[in-house]
A = this chain, B = another copy of it.
Amino acid sequence: MKVTIKDVAKYAGVGVGTVSRVLNHGSVKETTRHKVEAAIKKLNYQPNTYARGLKANRTNTIALIIPTIWHPFFSEFAYYIEKYATAMGVKLFLCNANHNSEKEYEYIQMVKRNKVDGIIGITYSNIDQYLSSHLPFVSIDRHFSEDVVYVTADNEAGGRIAVQELIKRGCQSVCFIGGYQQIPNETKKRRQAFERTCQEQAISYSILDLEEPILDLDKQLTSFFLSQPEIDGVFAINDTMALDVITCLKKLNKSVPEDVQVIGFDGQKISEHADYLVSSIVQPIDQMAKMAVQRLTEIIDGKQVVKRTVLPVKFVPGDTTLFVQT
């Protein structure tokens, strides 16, 4: 029933070594190669991945650890990771960490059991402590420890641009609404750059920093906006938050963008051909994914790797900011 390399060898009248050589980097005589290939086709031979993996100690598989695939940003990211991984002949394990560090840990164990060659992770727990050692790992938006290779969008510039765009559109009083993650990561820079730019531009601003886990988001937003009715521009930590803000503002009978303009972050679309959900600082997700796969491959191949990769963002106006002549 099951066809092995021995069957092929016997059928072709050669040794197993020869078949193996045909399969891989072969220096085999043309005529024998033909015989072997005929046998492979005839018997419909499929090399056993496990036997291969056992020798080669390489699986051509990577794992993607994300909080949850069920989110436009992560699903887009996963889409591109899969795309570029496949293009390089690498398969992808999907792991929804779900803020469950046990699950993350289990996946790391998997690496050690050599089921995967490396990991790409967007993680908000302290996973990289385990990894900072010597396992192939690329982090997204996060560089907790020194040796971690990471890829990130230019959050710094994003925060600055957001403020500038709001001012350009006539906002007098802006705010930043963030939270969601408590662990230090690159996204914190959005807030920092926002604050610094506001000071530089001398515009009145405030900041709402929500503690994670966020309970009663709607309530907190409502009381914030009620207490600060002068706010006419919002920079939200991400598009999901922006949507929540918009929902809240509508309930308060403020219209977007006429009364309050909102800029998010990420550039979420719910699928490839859809529109952007809100005006947003768009991350180059495609490029980030590409670079992440590339960097990981470099690590796996033992090459010298650039630790920090920062990719540019841009503002894309949508329905939640006013139109301005450029």
* Chain A interface residues (CB < 8 Å from chain B): 46-54, 57, 59, 61, 64, 68-72, 74-76, 78-79, 82-83, 86, 91-96, 103, 109-110, 112-115, 240, 243, 247, 268, 270-272, 274-275, 277
Contacts and interface: CB of A to CB of B under 8 A. Distances in A.
A68 B79 contact: yes
A112 B268 CA distance: 37
Name A's interface SS.
mixed
Given A76-B70, A243-B274, A271-B240, A46 B112 contact: yes
Q: Which of A103, A113, A272 has the most CB of B within 10 A?
A: A113
Given A49-B113, A69-B69, A93 B94 contact: yes
B48 A240 contact: no
B93 A271 contact: no
A47 B96 contact: no
A33 to B, nearest CB: 21
B72 A72 contact: yes
A113 B91 CA distance: 13
A115 to B, nearest CB: 4
A323 to B, nearest CB: 17
Task: List the 9 closest pairs (A to B, CB-CB), nearest first.
Answer: A50-B53, A70-B79, A75-B75, A50-B54, A71-B271, A94-B94, A49-B115, A46-B112, A46-B113
Contacts of A82: 69, 94-96
B69 A79 contact: yes
A4 to B, nearest CB: 12
Contacts of A47: 113
Contacts of A277: 270
